[in-house]
Structure 1
């Protein structure tokens, strides 16, 4: 019996991915739970386990290509008899077989989406167009009728390359028929030369997610930003002394201290540790403290979450930060490690920047930006002294947080960071 394994819906709004690597070839014999492929999504890299045992008879996607939820990836001859292909076969998934957990295969047919933004004539039953929303939009923008395009993708799906080829063919035909004026041809030639000097870099899956999240945040939450500096001279001294008491494998940065200070301040200012339910028009005050820590990776910004920060020591936070940071850069985080944060921190001081205006990690209501610690002349009791100063910038959702709320929260953070002994004793 031939079974088809489709790219499953692994949740968290993931609709597509990039096939990084096949772990088998046509003709191989596999067991249920064996990894068949590695897929890059906009959140994590996931290993897909096979729900079937049998012989691989077809691989229906190419390495490096984009695959979509519901798309058939592989066909397996299970050797079973006496069952029709329409009957439901209970997939067997090995527990924790993949990065994102056990995945279920679906035998349901995914219907084609609507044809775009304009109403088109009914499509004859024998000519059903299969295309992604991105391809449909491209066809609409270029004026290409999808019904006249032969798809080269899986199952006859119309791909962007098919649409581009159809558009080029149409343009060439129109040019020959209309014989455009020389002036118009000159403009086209000039535009073509310009295009030859442009390098096109496809957006990675994670870059697409960052773009969507940033637009959602800026369009939904009215941003306001408060900025200040805190004297961390005593904290700098304390950290230098403390580093000598730990093993070399513990990389003690300032971030664990900043996280502790922020959580203490969040407890005194609960509105900052919340989100807004637009439907019920309620502010959801969170009684737990999960901090998202922005990590700069080659693929783009990733925000792993450190859970229950209020219950962890400085040393444990340092270890978790190091582990999460390394796995974020290697795309080894799980989906659970990227969600449910209640407040986020972005450290642009790590790349030498002083101040910035961070974008809220929606649906949170605030984010703290940390700048580079530097020595500066400061007036204390009418005397000019050199102190270590840490720049802070906090963006907040003005629907929930007012300037006074932000100011009080920032003052509490400053109070704890300026006195490390108070910070560690509370």
Structure 2
């Protein structure tokens, strides 16, 4: 028997579908959340009024819907069919990524671990696409038998996420007995908190333990007012007279002067929408700046001899692709990374280990019409200057034409941001996490240098090295940039 699920009256005529939490063929229970919609005031989860099997999904992410719109068609199960389904259920269930995007998404968090008992609808991972971060709930109850994906991995619809083992009585009894032997505080850490993805994102951003937030919503669900009140209590607003408020997606502090100005009062304005690339890169740059303790070391390198050699080779070799200064810088950087392996590393997820990489892939920040993109050139240590020049040109053209593959933007060890064609003397580039360093290049200019007898004109290139102070000490930062200086000021070192 088919049953049409319609959008209930939410108090507003139109809302946008921002997440679809089920897929065709899913067995769902009454009150299970189906979609998340967003209006001008809040994100709302829409539950199912009946149990059954999803037969058809009538909405898409980003679609505007109104009260009474048909969301899904449900195949209602009789009690006999439900009982048969339960009896026929397998011991193991494989959870796959549902249809949330036409493109691949990145795994940014895994909320469960092997051996953990999870409930139906409990969030198991968080993924990030071009539009938003999405938490993926478990369609089953059970014990995590195996996790099949890793943080940072790109996955698509149908990718297997984890294998879930059926919760049988012996397992439950064993877990309960184990929990009884633990302290109360450990028991509390394992309880599941009912909250929307929006609330969970806010909690992670402000380091709030949701288990400590008093829930007042239906079925003990945490509402935005609950987390607002919790933050207010922590900040002791009654004494400081500061005022925190929760808007659509973030918590803002009045001391940051986050006032919604009507700029039209002061003159003519024009609004430009951010591209998806700008939104994603802006969010990541903001997070990297906040979470990584940056140190920037500046230096100047004499590239007079290098430039003379480069121009001479271009005249003599007459190659189809001219040899570029950037290819020499990338080559010098690869040798410097080999000399100083901590710069070619990443911090582990738990921040307790440094992961040293034995490969040398360099990302190049490229300005495009859609925003900043960082394609990656692989294995640069083992490539010659001519090959690097050709590959740099090709990958920059592909980036500007938006033809890059996902594989051509992944796996970077270190990034170069070059503003040499625009000008400027120095800048502080922001690290591209999970990398631990980035090299900024400004425009070279003629400067007078004292050779012991007189001032002579030399071509000087400004360098700006930003590095993660959790991994790299200041002294090593100086040694690193000085070694690059050595490579570029005397190109004979590049062949050693």
Q: 2:434 is matched with which residue: 360, 363, 368?
A: 363
Pick closer, same or farther for the CA change 1:282–1:420 going to 2, 3 Å: same
Give the C-alpha shift of residue 317 in structure 1: 0.7
Q: Are the structure 2 counterparts of residues 99 and 359 from structure 1 closer, same or farther at C-alpha, using a change threshold of 3 Å?
A: closer
1:344 aligns with 2:415: yes
Establish whether residue 236 from structure 1 lines up as the match of residue 236 from structure 2: no
Q: Indicate yes or no: 2:424 matched with 1:314.
A: no
* 1:114 shift after superposition: 5.2
Does residue 1:301 correspond to 2:372, yes or no?
yes
For residues 253-309 of structure 1, the C-alpha deviation after alignment (integer angstroms, 9 at most, x for no partner) is 200000111111111111111111151511111111100111111211111000100
The whole-number CA distance in structure 2 between the counterparts of 1:16 and 1:308 is 39
1:324 is aligned to 2:434: no
- The answer as to whether partners of 2:104 and 2:156 remain within 8 angstroms in 1 is no
**How many residues align structurally?**
290
Please list, as runs of the form range in 1=range in 2, the aligned pairs for 1:252-263 lying within 5 A after superposition: 252-263=323-334
Contact 1:274 1:364 in 2 (8 A): yes
What is the rounded CA distance, in whole Å, between the counterparts of 1:301 and 1:238 in structure 2? 32
Aligned to 1:30: none
Aligned to 1:282: 353
Aligned match for 2:248, one of 129, 138, 160: 138
Which residue in 1 is equivalent to 2:237? Answer: none
From 446, 449, 459, the equivalent of 1:375 is 446
Structure 1 residues 201 and 275: CA distance shift in structure 2, 3 A = same
Aligned partner of 1:391 among 458, 462, 481: 462
Q: Are positions 1:211 and 2:321 aligned together?
A: no
**Alpha-carbon distance in 1 for matches of 2:341, 2:275:** 37
TM-score, with structure 2 as normaliser:
0.51
Q: Deviations over 1:38-67 (max 9, x none)?
A: xxxxxxxxxxxxxxxxxxxx9976xxx947
Q: Which residue of 2 is the match for residue 272 of structure 1?
A: 343
Specify whether residues 104 and 241 from structure 1 end up closer, same or farther in structure 2 by C-alpha distance, changes over 3 A only: same
Contact preservation (8 Å) 1:295, 1:303: yes
1:164 aligns to what?
A: none
SS of alignment partner, residue 448 of structure 2: strand
CA deviation vs aligned residue, 1:316-336 (integer Å, no higher than 9, x gap): 111111111011111111111
User: How far off its partner does 1:382 sit?
Assistant: 3.5
Ranked by relative contact order (alpha carbons within 8 Å, sequence separation 6 or more), the top structure is 1
Closer/same/farther in 2, CA of residues 193 and 353 from structure 1, 3 Å limit: closer
Deviations 1:194-247 (A, max 9, x none): 288332222211011111111221122100110010111100100011112444
Cα shift at 1:369: 0.5
TM-score under structure 1 length normalisation: 0.58
Q: What is the rounded CA distance, in whole Å, between the counterparts of 1:140 and 1:245 in structure 2? A: 59
Superposed displacement of residue 248, structure 1: 5.2
Q: Specify every segment of 5 or more residues in structure 2 that has no aligned partner in the other structure, as ranges.
A: 1-16, 20-56, 65-69, 71-84, 86-101, 106-153, 160-193, 203-213, 220-245, 252-259
Kindly indicate whether the alpha-carbon contact (under 8 Å) linking 1:291 and 1:309 is maintained by their aligned counterparts in 2: yes
In 1, Cα distance between the equivalents of 2:421 and 2:322?
14
Q: 1:114 to 1:272 in 2, by over 3 A?
A: closer
- What is aligned with 2:294? 223
Q: Cα–Cα, structure 1 residues 139 and 379, in superposed 2: closer, same or farther, change >3 Å? A: closer
Does the CA-based 8 Å contact 1:216-1:362 persist in structure 2? no
Matched residue, 1:166: none
Higher-strand-fraction structure: 2
User: What is the alpha-carbon distance in structure 2 between the residues aligned to residue 103 and residue 368 of structure 1?
Assistant: 33
**Is 1:412–2:483 an aligned residue pair?**
yes
**Alignment partner of 2:398: what SS?**
helix
**Distance (Å, rounded) in 1 between the aligned partners of 2:458 and 2:326:** 19
Instruction: Using the TM superposition, give the Cα deviation of residue 103 of structure 1 relative to its aligned residue in structure 2, in angstroms.
Output: 5.9
The secondary structure found in structure 2 opposite 1:301 is: strand
Q: Any idea what SS the aligned residue of 1:351 has?
A: coil
Q: What RMSD, in angstroms, separates the aligned Cα atoms of the two structures?
A: 4.2
> What pairs with 1:160-239 in structure 2 (closer than 5 Å)?
191=262, 193-194=264-265, 197-239=268-310
The 5 A counterparts of 1:107-118 are 113=196, 116=199
Can you give the 5+ residue segments of structure 1 that lack an aligned partner in the other structure? 1-14, 18-57, 73-85, 87-96, 124-135, 142-187
In 2, distance between residues paired with 1:413 and 1:250?
25
